[in-house]
Amino acid sequence: MLLAVDVGNTNITFGVFDGEEIRSQFRLNTQIPRTSDEYGIQIKELLDLNEINKDDLTGAVEASVVPDVLQLLHKAVVRYLGLDPLVVGPGVKSGIQVKTANPSEVGADRIVDLAAAYTIYGGPTLVIDYGTATTYDLVTAAGEFTVGLTAPGIGISAKALWEGTAKLPSIAIEKPDSILARNTITSMQAGLVYGQIGQAEYIITHIKEEMGFDEMKVVATGGLGGIISESTRMIDVYDRELTLKGLKIIYEKNK
């Protein structure tokens, strides 16, 4: 079995693959400070709770946008699980050619998503990842990553809204039944969710036009991606496990 670890700005997502299937998933909060020993103990406990024997794990792969957390987590996996994880970064085969102006600035999570999308769905494909930030990344039919956009995530936008105003409350991020909001809560929900839908449709339309990709596939991922993808015909696929799948694909390429 393979342990795949995605260290994001908000959550650390773990996936355990048994062959091609994801047997189990669990998460830890990235923003809670922990030592490597604490990570190790918690990972072992979560594996036990999910009925995964650590001795059945034969490999591990990690990607991170938080270097300090990755360092501690990596030590934990080595010490407590007895594994030497592959860390996605420069020199690791992904199947994606990074053709942006500054390749070294591209986050590992974006490369992982593109590796999965290109392998599973082909190209040209636009990947929209609804995470802490909302990212739009394009991979061509030749496997080249040439275009990437970054916008505030839905959660960040919501937090800014209620923390930056005196009277607006914190709310659940949900799509209201109608865009015609009639109270404070639904007005905020409508602005956040329908605003994201409009953003996605505008960006998708203009990337297709400027790149000349009439047949471009659009794949969404990330926890809140389901809310957006079910509300527009311009997103073809919602793949919640895209990042974990990408980690496995990259591991296999480098094994």
Residues noted as catalytic = 109
Residue type at 109 in one-letter notation? D
Q: Is 122 left (phi over 0), alpha (psi -120 to 50) or beta?
A: left
Nearest to 159 by CA among 140, 172, 176: 172
CA distance 139 to 152: 21
Residue 128: beta bridge partners? 136, 220
The answer to whether the Cα torsion of 152, 153, 157, 159 is positive or negative is negative
Q: Residue 223 gets which letter from DSSP? A: T
